[in-house]
Protein backbone atom coordinates (compact mmCIF):
# COMPACT_ATOMS: atom_id res chain seq x y z
CA UNK A 1 0.00 0.00 0.00
CA UNK A 2 3.02 2.28 0.29
CA UNK A 3 3.88 4.96 2.81
CA UNK A 4 0.98 6.32 4.85
CA UNK A 5 2.76 9.67 5.43
CA UNK A 6 3.87 12.24 2.86
CA UNK A 7 5.37 15.71 2.89
CA UNK A 8 3.74 18.33 0.65
CA UNK A 9 6.41 20.98 0.13
CA UNK A 10 7.26 24.08 -1.79
CA UNK A 11 10.72 25.43 -2.57
CA UNK A 12 11.94 28.54 -0.83
CA UNK A 13 11.30 30.45 -4.07
CA UNK A 14 7.62 30.22 -3.17
CA UNK A 15 8.17 32.96 -0.56
CA UNK A 16 5.84 35.94 -0.69
CA UNK A 17 6.69 38.91 1.49
CA UNK A 18 4.02 40.75 3.37
CA UNK A 19 2.77 43.67 1.29
CA UNK A 20 3.65 46.17 4.02
CA UNK A 21 7.36 45.19 4.09
CA UNK A 22 10.03 47.24 2.36
CA UNK A 23 12.56 44.41 2.05
CA UNK A 24 13.28 42.54 -1.18
CA UNK A 25 13.44 38.81 -1.81
CA UNK A 26 16.14 37.38 -4.09
CA UNK A 27 15.51 34.05 -5.78
CA UNK A 28 18.41 31.67 -6.46
CA UNK A 29 18.82 27.92 -6.92
CA UNK A 30 15.36 27.03 -5.57
CA UNK A 31 15.69 29.20 -2.48
CA UNK A 32 14.66 32.69 -1.45
CA UNK A 33 16.91 35.13 0.42
CA UNK A 34 15.93 38.30 2.22
CA UNK A 35 18.08 40.87 3.97
CA UNK A 36 17.09 43.16 6.80
CA UNK A 37 15.32 46.30 5.58
CA UNK A 38 17.91 48.24 7.61
CA UNK A 39 17.97 50.32 10.73
CA UNK A 40 19.66 49.82 14.09
CA UNK A 41 16.60 48.27 15.81
CA UNK A 42 15.33 44.72 15.29
CA UNK A 43 12.77 44.51 12.51
CA UNK A 44 10.14 41.86 11.92
CA UNK A 45 8.77 40.64 8.60
CA UNK A 46 6.15 38.05 7.59
CA UNK A 47 6.80 35.60 4.75
CA UNK A 48 4.01 33.49 3.28
CA UNK A 49 4.31 30.13 1.47
CA UNK A 50 1.37 28.69 -0.49
CA UNK A 51 1.45 24.88 -0.19
CA UNK A 52 0.11 22.60 -2.96
CA UNK A 53 -3.08 20.70 -2.17
CA UNK A 54 -2.57 17.17 -0.84
CA UNK A 55 -3.68 14.11 -2.83
CA UNK A 56 -7.33 13.22 -2.16
CA UNK A 57 -6.40 10.28 0.08
CA UNK A 58 -3.95 12.29 2.26
CA UNK A 59 -6.28 14.81 3.89
CA UNK A 60 -5.13 14.56 7.52
CA UNK A 61 -2.54 17.26 8.22
CA UNK A 62 -0.25 16.72 11.19
CA UNK A 63 3.02 18.72 11.06
CA UNK A 64 4.83 21.66 9.47
CA UNK A 65 8.50 22.16 8.68
CA UNK A 66 10.60 25.12 7.61
CA UNK A 67 14.16 24.64 6.34
CA UNK A 68 16.26 27.82 6.37
CA UNK A 69 19.65 29.34 7.12
CA UNK A 70 20.07 32.70 8.76
CA UNK A 71 22.67 35.18 9.89
CA UNK A 72 21.45 37.45 12.65
CA UNK A 73 17.79 36.60 12.00
CA UNK A 74 15.42 34.44 14.03
CA UNK A 75 12.35 32.53 12.96
CA UNK A 76 9.90 33.53 15.67
CA UNK A 77 6.41 32.29 14.79
CA UNK A 78 4.90 29.78 12.35
CA UNK A 79 1.20 29.91 11.46
CA UNK A 80 -0.58 27.40 9.20
CA UNK A 81 -3.83 28.39 7.50
CA UNK A 82 -6.41 26.24 5.74
CA UNK A 83 -8.38 28.82 3.81
CA UNK A 84 -8.97 31.63 6.30
CA UNK A 85 -8.92 29.31 9.33
CA UNK A 86 -5.79 29.07 11.51
CA UNK A 87 -5.09 25.37 12.06
CA UNK A 88 -1.73 25.72 13.84
CA UNK A 89 0.36 28.44 15.46
CA UNK A 90 3.59 28.26 17.46
CA UNK A 91 5.97 30.99 18.58
CA UNK A 92 9.30 31.21 20.37
CA UNK A 93 11.19 29.15 17.81
CA UNK A 94 14.91 28.81 17.11
CA UNK A 95 17.27 26.78 14.94
CA UNK A 96 17.90 26.35 11.23
CA UNK A 97 15.36 23.60 10.66
CA UNK A 98 11.99 23.68 12.38
CA UNK A 99 9.68 20.66 12.34
CA UNK A 100 6.61 20.97 14.54
CA UNK A 101 3.77 18.50 15.13
CA UNK A 102 0.29 20.00 15.21
CA UNK A 103 -1.46 20.05 18.58
CA UNK A 104 -4.44 18.38 16.88
CA UNK A 105 -4.78 16.75 13.49
CA UNK A 106 -6.38 19.08 10.96
CA UNK A 107 -8.41 17.81 8.03
CA UNK A 108 -7.82 19.50 4.68
CA UNK A 109 -11.10 20.91 3.40
CA UNK A 110 -10.07 22.02 -0.09
CA UNK A 111 -9.71 25.73 0.68
CA UNK A 112 -5.93 25.99 0.23
CA UNK A 113 -2.99 25.83 2.62
CA UNK A 114 -0.59 28.64 3.51
CA UNK A 115 2.34 28.62 5.93
CA UNK A 116 3.28 32.06 7.28
CA UNK A 117 6.49 32.68 9.19
CA UNK A 118 7.50 35.72 11.21
CA UNK A 119 11.21 36.57 11.02
CA UNK A 120 13.04 38.98 13.31
CA UNK A 121 16.07 40.66 11.73
CA UNK A 122 18.32 41.60 14.65
CA UNK A 123 20.50 44.16 12.82
CA UNK A 124 20.89 45.87 9.48
CA UNK A 125 23.28 43.05 8.42
CA UNK A 126 20.79 40.21 9.14
CA UNK A 127 19.61 37.83 6.44
CA UNK A 128 17.58 34.66 5.98
CA UNK A 129 17.52 32.06 3.23
CA UNK A 130 14.52 29.72 2.91
CA UNK A 131 15.17 26.31 1.30
CA UNK A 132 11.73 24.71 1.68
CA UNK A 133 8.47 24.76 3.61
CA UNK A 134 6.12 21.82 3.92
CA UNK A 135 3.15 20.14 5.57
CA UNK A 136 3.06 16.48 6.60
CA UNK A 137 -0.13 14.59 5.77
CA UNK A 138 -1.22 11.03 6.27
CA UNK A 139 -3.53 8.75 4.37
CA UNK A 140 -7.16 9.41 5.27
CA UNK A 141 -8.09 5.74 5.61
CA UNK A 142 -5.46 5.02 8.29
CA UNK A 143 -5.32 5.89 11.95
CA UNK A 144 -2.08 7.46 13.11
Please, which pLDDT band fits residue 142 given cuts at 50, 70 and 90? low
Kindly list the strands in the beta sheet with 16-17, ordered across the sheet, starting from the edge strand earlier in the chain. Answer: 16-17, 43-51, 113-121, 73-82, 85-91
Give the global pTM.
0.90
CA-to-CA separations, 32 to 17, 87, 125, in angstroms, rounded: 11, 25, 17
Q: What is the pLDDT of residues 21-55, one digit of tens each?
A: 778 889 988 899 999 887 777 889 999 999 999 99
Domains identified in the chain and CATH numbers: 5-138 (2.60.120.260)
Amino acid 21: pLDDT: 78
Cβ atoms of 32 and 15 closer than 8 Å? yes
Amino acid sequence: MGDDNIWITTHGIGAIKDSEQSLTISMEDGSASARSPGGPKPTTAWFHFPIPSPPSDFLNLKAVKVDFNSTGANLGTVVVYAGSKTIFQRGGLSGQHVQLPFDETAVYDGLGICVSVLVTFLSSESSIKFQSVGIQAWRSDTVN
